[in-house]
Amino acid sequence: MPATVARYLLAFALLFTGVGHLTFARAGFQGQVPAWVPLDPDFVVLASGVVELAFAAALLFLPRWRVPVGWLLAAFFIAIFPGNISQFLTHTDSLGLDTDVARGVRLVFQPVLVVVALWSTGAWKWWRLRRRADSTATTPTTQK
């Protein structure tokens, strides 16, 4: 039950931020795209917004695909982490992140999102069970 609640909260957070990427916070998100990204910042913001909306929908409406969605969402959170690091290192103010403390808190929060994505979708549990099954299958049994 707690994992389900966390999954729904994560979906609604992604829905909110995805809509923000496409509408009311679009300019703010453009300010967070690092200069070293070789794509137009507006394209990056729009594309990531669409991706976030897709993840929100998948978390809410594709229960049979929950584990792969969890892995993909964790990978997405990891993929955008360098941008968060860049914003911290370059002291870029955007979307209320106008102090090093605020940007630092965001850095700490990003790995939490990875963990929540894996835990709330059952991806972590699936991986542990699979590892256990693989290690049992490869361990020789002794006969008496």
In the chain, the amino acid numbered 5 is V
Residue 48's pLDDT is what?
97
Task: Return the axis-axis angle of helices 2-22 and 100-120, rounded to nearest 10°.
Answer: 130
Q: Per-residue pLDDT for 143 more than 60? A: no
Q: Give CA–CA dist 34/10, Å, rounded.
A: 25
pLDDT (tens digit, 9 = 90+) per residue, 82-127? 999 999 999 999 999 999 999 999 999 999 999 999 999 999 999 8
